[in-house]
Amino acid sequence: MKLELERAKVKNIVWGETTALLPDGTLRICKEDLLEAAADRVCFKSIGAELARPGESVRICPVKDVIEPRCKTEGQGQVFPGMLSGVETVGSGKTFVLSGAAVVTCGRIVGFQEGIIDMQGTGADYTPFSKTMNAVLVIEPNDGIEPHEYEKACRMAGLRAAYFIASSVWKAGASVSETEVYELPSFTESAKSFPDLPKVVYIYMLQTQGLLHDTYVYGVDAKKMLPTFIHPNETMDGAVISGNCVSACDKNSTYIHLNNPVIKSLYEHHGKDLNFVGVIITNENVTLADKQRSSSYTAKLAAMLGADGAVVSEEGFGNPDADLILNCRKLEKCGIKTTLITDEYAGRDGASQSLADASPLADAVVTAGNANMIVRLPKQDRLIGFDDYIDVLSGGFDGSLHEDGSIEVELQAITGATCELGFGKLGGRTW
């Protein structure tokens, strides 16, 4: 597969009569058309839209998902397969991307594990989405709608809005500022071209711990699937979609799945110091039998690929820590060296055990930070959404929302703060 991401850089965002990208990088959106594209007359009592720019005194809460506007312009299928389009395999051809823009879905709380985005101040330092030009959908559900139906309706509204913006801009004749090309040769060609490089596979763990803890692959709830091998390019066209209400700090929003930095890094190293052989997606289960089945199947697939090493990323914490360690142990026992990417819940003082499970074979672990760390977020001048849930968000507590409008919470409550794919502020490099 060969995929070309044609990126147009967004430097500002405004409302206007039509949707287009102006020559100066301003994304102009027709608000009425956006709301029409996102509307759900069965599930939504109301839907509104607001804009949030980096550096503005704005708080968005509670955040459900973040999606980057994309559309395919050439090749098989369309973005978000199985959700907005058919289930043809994606990951080849050309895809148009509005870099620096995002659609954020926000509305009445479904599960307590939803989050906050501050566009300035301390909170902005911890979320990657304080740096994007955000079109925020503010959704009120109809009375009596079940939480999982409401979550689904919000998810679909965000995807429709993101596709509408990208496709409208493309049709309006947007110019492309940068093209990224992603292509992997066949296993046979790679073996011939890089016979001395270690073969590395990426084990991509997806949150699947029950209702409202969902991730979708080609429209299928990943709880229902066995681990499977996919081409890394498929993720860039939206084959993997977030549908969960888990702790905001380490929830992989759809935007992050589209821009997975582990995949990008492995591509950058391919043919230089490693042979990137592809991606195995696996689920995070709640029963021991399911954990054993998926971890054994994952190790088997990696061994069949002839992998020498594996990068394993987690989503979430606690229960999924067992899946992470089972994957590590079984891969290592197959002779496949592992590097794990996780975050920590080490207590507010950082002195507690970081993970719920451990193994001496887990001897190469990368941390995205301690989600229990307390931060104070200053008052923002404008609120998009609702702040009456702050005290009950995961990471919040009784009294988190102060009378002056400031908030005291754990990092858990900030969207993307300790992303276990490394899509955040902090990072490490080897020099």
pLDDT tens, 57-115?
999 999 999 999 999 999 999 999 999 999 999 999 999 999 999 999 998 877 657 89
Q: What is the distance between the terminal CA atoms of the chain, rounded to a whole angstrom?
A: 32
Looking at residue 425, its pLDDT comes to: 65
- What DSSP character marks residue 160? H
Looking at residue 49, its pLDDT comes to: 98
Residue in 146, 133, 111 with CA at minimum distance from that of residue 60: 133
Higher pLDDT, 54 or 151: 54
Spatial distance between the Cα atoms of 239 and 243, rounded to a whole number of angstroms: 13
Computed over every residue of the chain, the mean pLDDT equals: 94
Spatial distance between the Cα atoms of 103 and 132, rounded to a whole number of angstroms: 9
| 245 is an active site residue | yes
- Six-digit token pair at 322? 């067992």
- The contacts found for 352-359 with CB under 8 angstroms, 24 or more apart, are 355/317, 355/321, 355/324, 355/325, 356/317, 356/318, 356/319, 356/321, 356/322, 357/321, 357/322, 357/324, 357/325, 358/325, 359/325, 359/328, 359/329
Per residue in 326-345, pLDDT (tens digit) is: 999 999 999 999 999 999 99
Spatial distance between the Cα atoms of 180 and 339, rounded to a whole number of angstroms: 27
Output the pTM of the full model: 0.95
Residues facing residue 4 across a β-bridge: 94, 181
pLDDT > 90? residue 212: no
Confidence of residue 429 (pLDDT cuts 50, 70, 90): low
Higher pLDDT, 392 or 129: 129
> Which one of the listed residues 30, 71, 245, 328 is annotated catalytic?
245
- Six-digit token pair at 119? 């566009």
Looking at residue 210, its pLDDT comes to: 82
